[in-house]
Structure 1
Amino acid sequence: MSAPHLDVEQVEAANTAFYEAMERGDFETVSSLWLVPADLGVDEEYHDPADTGVISCVHPGWPVLTGRGEVLRSYALIMANTDYIQFFLTDVHVSVTGDTAVVTCTENILSGGPAPEGDEELGPLVGQLVVATNVFRRTGQGWKLWSHHASPVLTESEGDDGDAGDDGDGAPA
């Protein structure tokens, strides 16, 4: 097996591990899959690792989060407020150049929040379609997440009337 093919397989495995840990609500594993400042040569003796903006994350509808503290806090909040989440990844594409890899994919997400008060069953499940870009960096411990950016995909029924950019005269605005 060629080295580039092996790199692609290892990145795919790291990407899958990230989503599986999210599904299990395994915060420790999610945390371990993100770069630490030392992975990028940042001297933690002089920089607070929680404030060092070496990693970033954009959840759908959220502002950019930078640094391990902000990013991992966001995952802790998501896990604490989501009773069930499952990712069906489609359109997965992996590109590796040197020690950096980019994974683009569509996250077909099925999730449920807390059940209504007094109801022991899971609250209603909601489906969401999100496109994501995950950037990985090769480290001595394998491939780790450097950046995650996810954006919702609007369906035609969520748009105005499917004529984006049309000001009514048939010509683009």
Structure 2
Amino acid sequence: MSKPIYTSVAEAEAAFYDALARSDLDAMMTVWSEDDEVVCVHPDTPRLVGLAAVRESWRQLFAGGVRLQVRTSHHVVCQNMLLTIHNVIEHVTVEGEDRLPPPMIATNVYTRGALGWRLVMHHASPAPENPHAPAHGAPHVMH
């Protein structure tokens, strides 16, 4: 089976969230670049580097049988001809549960190549409990 060509970042991102909602590993991996330097950070987990590690993480997540529905909001986009960065708030619901978990903050990075747009990084982490609360003191900048 040949990989689809995503002609826009919106198309690639829609395919990513669709594969996530369907727990479809093959569809998920069509969105990812085949570069060895891909990176994925799932909430509260270590950084995964490399396509094999990324694939295995999604396989394990999908094998758990949990169906996730993700709606994104508050999009911040930075883009040029070859690179696009999306920072979004993910509102994740678990199929069959009434409880609405706190939102996630996610960054998706896409590159454009011969096969269209591909995901090279997905980083999701829990949002603060009250994202509108003022910071305590000055922020600590590490870099």
Which interval holds the TM-score relative to the shorter structure?
A: 0.7 to 0.9
Question: Residue 90 of structure 1 contacts residue 105 of structure 1 at CA under 8 Å; is this kept in 2?
Answer: yes
| Amino acid paired to 2:29 | S
| Amino acid paired to 1:70 | A
Q: Which has the higher contact order (CA 8 A, sep 6+)?
A: 2
Structure 1, unmatched stretches of 5+, are 1-8, 38-51, 113-121, 157-161, 167-171
Task: Choose 147-156 or 56-65, whichever is displaced more.
Answer: 147-156
| 1:145 Cα deviation after fit | 0.3
Match of 2:66 among 79, 83, 95: 83
Q: Equivalents in 2 of 1:69, 1:126: separation in Å?
A: 32
How big is the alpha-carbon RMSD for the aligned residues of Structure 1 and Structure 2?
Answer: 2.2
Residue by residue over 1:84-119, the C-alpha shift from the partner in whole angstroms, topping out at 9 and shown as x without a partner, is 21001101233221211111111000015xxxxxxx
Q: Are 1:154 and 2:128 an aligned pair? A: yes
TM-score, with length taken from structure 1: 0.67
Equivalent residue number for residue 43 of structure 1: none
| Amino acid paired to 2:103 | L
Q: Equivalents in 1 of 2:76, 2:97: separation in Å?
A: 33
TM-score, with length taken from structure 2: 0.80
Larger radius of gyration: 1
Q: Are 1:129 and 2:114 an aligned pair? A: no
Match of 2:82 among 99, 102, 105: 99
Question: Residue 110 of structure 1 contacts residue 128 of structure 1 at CA under 8 Å; is this kept in 2?
Answer: no
| 1:18 Cα deviation after fit | 0.3
Residue by residue over 1:129-168, the C-alpha shift from the partner in whole angstroms, topping out at 9 and shown as x without a partner, is 0011100010211100011111101214xxxxx78647xx
Equivalent residue number for residue 55 of structure 1: 38
Q: Are 1:109 and 2:89 an aligned pair? A: no
Matched-pair identity in %: 28
Equivalent residue number for residue 3 of structure 2: none
Question: How many residues were matched structurally?
Answer: 130
Equivalent residue number for residue 17 of structure 1: 15
| 1:125 Cα deviation after fit | 4.8
| 1:123 Cα deviation after fit | 5.8
Alignment of 1:36-55 (within 5 A): 36-37=34-35, 52=36, 54-55=37-38
Task: Choose 90-99 or 14-23, whichever is displaced more.
Answer: 90-99
Structure 2, unmatched stretches of 5+, are 1-6
